[in-house]
Amino acid sequence: MALARARSRDVHFYLFSEPDKAIGGMKLNLSITEKVVLSMLDILIVASGPYKVTLRSTGVDLMRTDNALKPGHYDIRPYSRGNTMFITR
């Protein structure tokens, strides 16, 4: 069942340390903005410092704007090498 859900998703998230292992995703709708996604990730990600979320295909970082989220694969990485992060479950 989880595989069927994953196939229907437009957006997939990956930790920088495991770029081939999706940690989650979602099906887009009109209310999903970059700001909304970053707010959701702030709840799910525990990091020792700031992090960024980058659309893999373009290399563009998400910003806290009301721009609609684009479909694709997003990498979550710390701004600094020494920072650590993990996903709460």
What is the residue-wise DSSP string for 43-78?
HHEEESS-EEEEETTTTEEP-SSSPBPPSEEEEEEE
Does residue 35 surpass a pLDDT of 90?
yes
The string of pLDDT tens digits covering residues 55-70 is 999 999 999 999 999 9
Give the H or E element holding residue 41: helix 34-44
Give the model's pLDDT for residue 5: 59
Q: What CATH number is given for 2-87 in this structure?
A: 3.10.20
Q: Flag the least confident range among 8-17, 70-79, 80-89.
A: 80-89
Domain boundaries, the chain: 2-87
